[in-house]
Amino acid sequence: MSTPAVPSVLFVCVHNAGRSQMAAAFLTHLAGDRVEVRSAGSAPADAVNAAVVDAMREAGIDIAAEVPKVLTTEAIQAFDVVITMGCGDACPYFPGKRYLDWQLDDPAGQGVDAVRPIRDEIEQRIKGLLSELGFETRA
């Protein structure tokens, strides 16, 4: 007897230090193990943006231990849905994958006050994505 397939979502931005980290954290928080989640960057930073960590902590999600990860072709091939956030031509395209491009402000170099609206928009988009995938969100 086989187990039902778990959808997989990969979030990609340039530095994997802000937008994609927030998106992955929200999806993991809201979906739990019902969705496989990963984030990566085309040119990863050395660390996650401190203002992003603070803004997510305010939302009740601790991402302080997260580290930026490099985007690999294998990662893209392994995921069902690839959501890009400003990585442009650095994101390879593979036929048969579902791609979404979320136009979001870049939190790089911004303080927590500027990050909050980006965080809130990402949270709403994640809730919409979960609905599209057929899941109800949990608190």
Q: Catalytic residues, which ones?
A: 13, 87, 91
Can you say how many angstroms the Cα of residue 32 is from the centroid of all Cα atoms in its chain? Answer: 14
The position carrying tokens 């991402």 is 63
CA-based nearest residue to 9, from 90, 119, 100: 100
Phi, psi for 70 (deg, rounded to 5): -80, 140
Contacts 24+ apart (CB under 8 A), 99-106: 100/129, 102/19, 102/23, 104/19, 106/13, 106/14, 106/18, 106/19
d(CA 107, CA 28): 20
